[in-house]
């Protein structure tokens, strides 16, 4: 199947690597009763101890940019590490303040969580930010306008497509996710308690690399936008980083892949598309949501 290039430099596909740097805040949200279980919490603290540096080294080796989402409390706890990520030339985005589950927050609380996280990043880095990803949950109607007013241009939390698209309640570009392009569904493991519930196993590295490679080849064939979601405590172990290195090597061999940050991809899409195509899932959702008000 032949497609006209739609990415910079005539590239056939786009690749965006995103990283959620949550330390142990994320697991505290998923399993509140884990508080005080230092042995279990140490699984997630590995990211700050080893994973971030290992991931940064791999990205530098393959000269690949990335977009990191960092909650406010992680910025305060690991300021030097966040500054190191920034100094390496990677994009930093907002992710609330404490890995909040947005489904459990009312609209005012959602805005407060974002503002707290944004303020922590602004204080540490001294500039504005364009990307946002909540740790979990959906934001309330109208929250997109709050993001836009705070300078956010793109988000990456929804699904529903293989290409960027516009949100309905604000001029925000969504860079959609797919669970199979994340590391957590394959490798999240903690024996007691099991997190996620029922997932007490570790996938074969060979099979995961095979899955990711096949997905990339398909995305590349059809000229799509391949968005990965990684975690330094998961992909940054001594063994698993090799899976990412092998995948990046395959991507680099293609020669016609555009590696971009989220901000770069969103800006490129916005310059060339003024609206979603008719019948896009987000348009249908908004139609039905408006009908039941």
pLDDT band at residue 3 under the 50/70/90 scheme: very low
Q: For residue 107, is it within any domain?
A: yes
Q: What is the pLDDT of residue 196?
A: 59
Strands, E assignment, the chain: 13-20, 67-70, 91-94, 131-132, 154-155, 165-166, 173-174, 225-230, 257-259
* Cα gap 293→289, rounded to integer Å: 7
Q: Give the separation between CA 173 and CA 152, rounded to whole angstroms.
A: 9
Q: Quick check: is 15 in a domain?
A: yes
Q: Is residue 3 part of a domain?
A: no
Whether 145 maps to a domain, the answer reads yes
In a domain, 164, yes or no: yes
Would you say residue 2 lies in a domain? no
Range of the domain at 255: 8-291
Position 93 scores a pLDDT of 98
The tens digit of pLDDT for each residue in 147-161 reads: 999 999 999 999 999
Q: In this structure, is residue 137 part of a structural domain?
A: yes
Q: Does 1 fall in a domain?
A: no
The domain that holds 156 is classified in CATH as 3.20.20.370
- To the question of pTM greater than 0.85 for the whole model, the response is yes
Burial 114-123 (b: 16+ CB within 10 A, else e): bbbbbebbee
pLDDT digits (tens, 9 = 90+) for 203-254: 999 999 999 999 999 999 999 999 999 999 999 999 999 999 999 999 999 9
Give the model's confidence band at 127: pLDDT under 50 very low, under 70 low, under 90 confident, else very high: very high
CA distance 24 to 4: 44
How many structural domains comprise the chain?
A: 1
């Amino acid at each position: 199947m032949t497609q006209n290039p739609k990415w910079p430099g005539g590239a056939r596909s786009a690749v965006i690597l995103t990283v959620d740097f949550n330390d142990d805040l994320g697991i505290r949200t998923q399993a509140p009763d884990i508080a005080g279980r230092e042995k279990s919490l140490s699984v997630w603290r590995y990211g700050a101890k080893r994973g971030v540096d290992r991931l940064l080294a791999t990205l530098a080796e393959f000269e690949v940019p990335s977009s990191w989402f960092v909650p406010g409390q992680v910025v305060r706890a690991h300021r030097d590490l966040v500054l190191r990520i920034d100094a390496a030339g990677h994009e930093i985005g907002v992710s609330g303040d404490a890995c909040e589950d947005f489904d459990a927050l009312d609209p005012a609380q959602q805005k407060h969580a974002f503002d707290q996280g944004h303020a922590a990043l602004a204080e540490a880095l001294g500039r504005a930010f364009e990307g946002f990803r909540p740790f979990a949950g959906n934001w309330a109607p109208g929250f997109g306008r709050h993001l836009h007013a705070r300078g956010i241009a793109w988000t990456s939390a929804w699904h529903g497509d293989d290409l960027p698209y516009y949100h309905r309640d604000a001029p925000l570009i969504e860079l959609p996710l797919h669970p199979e392009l994340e590391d957590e569904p394959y490798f999240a493991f903690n024996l007691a308690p099991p997190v996620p519930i029922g997932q007490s196993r570790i996938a074969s590295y060979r099979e995961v690399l095979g899955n990711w490679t096949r997905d990339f080849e398909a995305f590349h064939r059809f000229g799509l936008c391949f968005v990965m979601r990684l975690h330094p405590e998961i992909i940054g172990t001594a063994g698993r980083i090799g899976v990412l290195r092998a995948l990046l090597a395959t991507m680099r061999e293609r020669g016609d892949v555009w590696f971009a940050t989220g901000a770069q991809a969103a800006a490129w899409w916005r310059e060339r598309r003024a609206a979603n195509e008719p019948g896009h899932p987000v348009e249908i959702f908004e139609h039905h949501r408006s009908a039941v008000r």
